[in-house]
Structure 1
C-alpha cells in the first residue's frame, strides 16, 4: 500500500463544496508540506538543517517524485538549535513552541489566500480563483508528534493510551477544535502545552487528518527492519538468514546481497524494499508456521483491497504471541506498529459522509471527462501505445555497441491484445550483437546442446509446409543471429505506478576473463510462457492458467532460407519447468521444478510472442540451507522453487488473486 495525498484532490473539493465552505467556481490547490531534520555531517553530529518543502497535489505524482522536475520548492529552514539556554525540564516544551512559532510565520500567507482565494493564471491560460489549502503533511513519527502538539510516546492521530498501542483496539480520533481549546494549558492525554499551533488559523484544514502514513519510517525502516526482521533473524539464526540471501537468484532491479544482510550498517529505502521482495521465500522452512502467518501482514495488501489490509493486520495480532512465546519480544507497545491501524482510515477519509452517491457520481463523471480529454490528446498528437518503447529508450541499449536504439531501429514482433490489457510488443535490438553463429558455436557459447534437435522439431511441426515445397531442414553449417535481451512493455495498470516501463529478459552467455577484463557470469532469465492445450487443475481459472515457467537460453533469428511468409522468425530456445503444483498451504506460493527429457533439460524452440514476461523463482531452502549451494549453479543443485509474486509491483498486482 502506498497512500498518495494527491489521490484525494477531487474528494477534498467535493467535501468543501458540499459543505458550502467554498464559493461556486472555486479551485483548490492542495498544499502538501514536508519537513525532516537532517544531519549535515557524518564526522560531527552537531551540524543539522531543518528544511521545509512545499508542493501541491494538483501536480501529477510521478512529476512530484522526480527531483529533476522540480515539483517541490524549498519553503525555508527551521532553527535546529539545541536550546541549551533552557533547563532540561522545559527544553522539550520550548522546542515545541519554537517550531510552531516558526511554522506560523512561514505559513501566514496561506491564511488569507485559503479563505478568500487568489486569482491565478492556470496552465490552460484561464484565470481562476485558487484556494491553497493544507491537505497533507509528510513527516516521520517524532515530527508528526511535534506538528500535532503530541508527546512522542502517544499517537498523533488518536487518543489511544500509550501502554495499549500493541493491541487492536478502537479509540477516538483527535479533534482539532477540542485540541485547540485545551492544548495551551493541558498536559495530560499526551499533549504538550503550545500557546498557538501554526495550524490554528489555516482555513478548511484538519491537521490530524493531514498526517499521512509514513511508509519509509513506519513500515520499511520501522516495523519491518527494526522489529520483524530482527525477531525472525533471532529465531532462525543470523547465519541461516544471511546464507539464504546470499543464495537468492538474480532478477533485474533486485539487489543481490552477496555478503548477507547482517553486516550492512547503512540501509536505503530501496534496499529495504528489495529485501522484502524475497523475505517470505527466505523465511519458508526457517521459522515456525505461526511466524509465517504473522509476517504475511506485510505482503498481502494493496491500495484496492482495504478489507484485505485490515484482515492482514488482524491476522498479525492473532499470531503475534509466537514472538513472546519464543522469547524474542516481551510486548508490542510500538508506536509505528500502532500507526498501521490508521492506514485504512487515512485512505478512506476522502469524503464528508454526506450524499456519498452524489459525490462519487460527480467525481466519476469528472474522471471520465479527464480520461476522454487525454484520449483526445493522444489521438491528436498521434501518441500511440508503442510510444512506451520510445519513452523507455534508455532501457533499450543498442547491443551492437553503437549507442542507444532509436524508435526506427527497434525490431518489433506484435502480439494480439488480451482483454483489458494493452497490446504487447516484443522489442529486440536492431543489430544483433551475436552474428553468424553456427550450431556448434551456439552449443559451446550458450551451453545449449539440444539446439539442433529442438529447432528441427520446431520446423517440422510448428511451421506448416505446402506440399509443393520441400521440407525445411536445418544443417550444422547454417548461421544464426542472436540477441542479448528481449524487452516487453508492461501492460498499463491504473492502480500500479511503476517507474520501469519495460520488462527486460536476458539471454547472455558466460564471458571468461581476458586481459584486464574480469569477464561476467552468464545470465539466462526465467519467463512465463503461453502453453498450448495444457490443462493444469492447480491454476485453472487463475492468472497463471495456460502459463508455465521456462528459462530462456537463446534469443535468435531464423536465417533467410528457413523463413516462410506469415510465420515468425524471431524465436527463443527455452528449457521448460514442470507445470505449477498446488500452492503451499503455509506460504501460499506455487512450486515448480525443472523438467527433464531423460538426463537433459526439456528444451523447445518457440516464437518470442509466446513469452508473456519475466518471473522470479525462490529456491525451496527447507529447514536448513545446503551450504554448498551457489547462485550460479542453483538450478543444478536445488530441485524445487517457488514462484515469487512480490518481486515487483506489476507481479504483485497481477498475481494477487492467484
Structure 2
C-alpha cells in the first residue's frame, strides 16, 4: 500500500479508491479483460458493441484501457543488457532481467502473503520433553537458526529461493532457448508456495543460451516493508536453488560425473559413507589455484587446467560474494530421482517381494485419507 500512498494520484484515490477507473464494477471488467488472453483487436471489438457503449466506460479502445492500467503503481520493471563476448555468436546475446531485490521486496510486501510468512526461526518438538524434533517449514531447520545467529540483533532473515531450467522459447521460428530464472521466498509457508495459483514464484530473468559460430544486499541488509507495512532490516541469503542434476553441477562449477554437493566422483557414488561436502570455500580455493597458473581469458587452457580439479571451467561463480550461502547447502535435491525413484525402485520392491503384493495393497488401502495427499485405495502394486 505504500506505493499507492506515495503515488502521484494518491489524492484522487481518497475520493475514488479505484482510480483511474470510475468504480469497482469498471475495475472488475478491466481486470477480466486484461487476464482474458484476448488480443487488442478482440478487446476493441468488444468495447465497440452497442450494449457495452451503454455502460459509459472511461475508456473506449484497448489502447486507452492499457493506458489507464499503466497509471497504476507498477511492479519491478523489465530491463535488458547485451552481453559482449570474445567469440562471435549467431545472434546478439541479450539478458532480460528484473532487479532481484525489487522482486524480493514485491513478494515480501504482497498482501496475499500477509498470514503466510514465517519471520522468526523456531524449533518444534512433539512434546515438552523435547525428545523428538519436528521439521516442517524452512524456519524450523538448523540452517535458518545458524544464519539468524550471525545477523545483527533485530534483523529479519529472508531466505531466497531460485529455480531455473532450460526451456525452448520458440520451437519452429528461430529455435530460441533460454533459462527462465524464478525467485521466491523460503519464508512463505510450504503449502502456499507449492500452489501455482499463489504466484509465489516470480520470473526475474531470462538467461540466454548463446550459439557460437566457432552482490551487497545479502551482506549489509536493506530496509523492506512487510505485508503489514512494518519496516524490517532484512538480509537475503540464498536459501535454496531448485534445478535438475546437470544444472546443479553447472552451479557448483563441477564437471560431469561429479557430485555437486560432495567431493565424491562417479566411482565413489556407491560408497556406504558420506563424503566431505563441496563447500564454497573449497571450490574457490581450487579456482584460485587454476587462475594462478592459467589466464581465464584463454578458455581452452583454463578449461584443461580446471579439469584437473574436476571443475567445469567457470572462473567466477555467481555465489562467490554471497555471505551465508554455500552450494552444498542451497542446491536442493531433485525429488524425482533422489527420493521417488530410489524409494520405488528399491524400498518398495523389497517390501513387495518380502510381504507380498496383496498385503502391501491392503495396508495402503486402509490408511486414513489425508487432505492434500493422495489416498491409494486400490494399493500401489498395479
1:587 to 329, 344, 355: 355
Post-superposition Cα deviations, 1:2-57, rounded to whole Å, max 9, x if no partner, equal xx995246644421343xx2110110110000010012456689432210000001
| Equivalent residue number for residue 234 of structure 2 | 130
| Equivalent residue number for residue 157 of structure 2 | 28
Shift of 1:590: 6.3
TM-score by length of 2: 0.51
Change (3 A) 1:159 1:13: closer
What is the DSSP-based 3-state SS (H/G/I as helix, E as strand, rest coil) of the residue aligned with 1:34?
Answer: strand
User: Is residue 255–residue 307 contact of structure 2 (8 Å, CA) maintained in 1?
Assistant: no
Change (3 A) 1:39 1:298: farther
Alignment of 1:401-550 (within 5 A): none
Change (3 A) 1:58 1:9: farther
Q: Aligned pair 1:193/2:313, yes or no? A: yes
User: Is residue 138–residue 144 contact of structure 2 (8 Å, CA) maintained in 1?
Assistant: no
Change (3 A) 1:138 1:69: same
- Unaligned runs of 5+ residues in structure 1 are 86-110, 229-275, 277-294, 300-315, 317-582, 592-616, 619-640
User: Is residue 176–residue 208 contact of structure 1 (8 Å, CA) maintained in 2?
Assistant: yes
| Equivalent residue number for residue 15 of structure 1 | 146
Count of aligned pairs: 224
| Equivalent residue number for residue 327 of structure 2 | 207
Shift of 1:588: 6.0
1:297 to 347, 362, 367: 347
Aligned mates of 2:334, 2:314 — CA distance in 1:
24
| Equivalent residue number for residue 156 of structure 1 | 260
Change (3 A) 1:47 1:587: farther
Aligned mates of 1:200, 1:584 — CA distance in 2:
47
Aligned mates of 2:143, 2:193 — CA distance in 1:
19
Alignment of 1:596-635 (within 5 A): none
Aligned mates of 2:259, 2:165 — CA distance in 1:
19
Q: Which structure has the larger Rg?
A: 1
User: Is residue 165–residue 244 contact of structure 2 (8 Å, CA) maintained in 1?
Assistant: yes
Aligned mates of 1:219, 1:44 — CA distance in 2:
38
Aligned mates of 1:169, 1:7 — CA distance in 2:
26
Post-superposition Cα deviations, 1:279-322, rounded to whole Å, max 9, x if no partner, equal xxxxxxxxxxxxxxxx44258xxxxxxxxxxxxxxxx8xxxxxx
Aligned mates of 1:39, 1:172 — CA distance in 2:
36
Change (3 A) 1:201 1:71: same
Post-superposition Cα deviations, 1:106-128, rounded to whole Å, max 9, x if no partner, equal xxxxx321112111111233211
| Equivalent residue number for residue 252 of structure 1 | none
Cα RMSD after superposing both structures:
3.5
Aligned mates of 1:189, 1:152 — CA distance in 2:
12
Shift of 1:199: 0.4
Aligned mates of 1:643, 1:145 — CA distance in 2:
37
TM-score by length of 1: 0.31
Aligned mates of 1:145, 1:589 — CA distance in 2:
39
- Unaligned runs of 5+ residues in structure 2 are 1-134, 291-305
Aligned mates of 2:354, 2:171 — CA distance in 1:
44
Shift of 1:164: 2.8
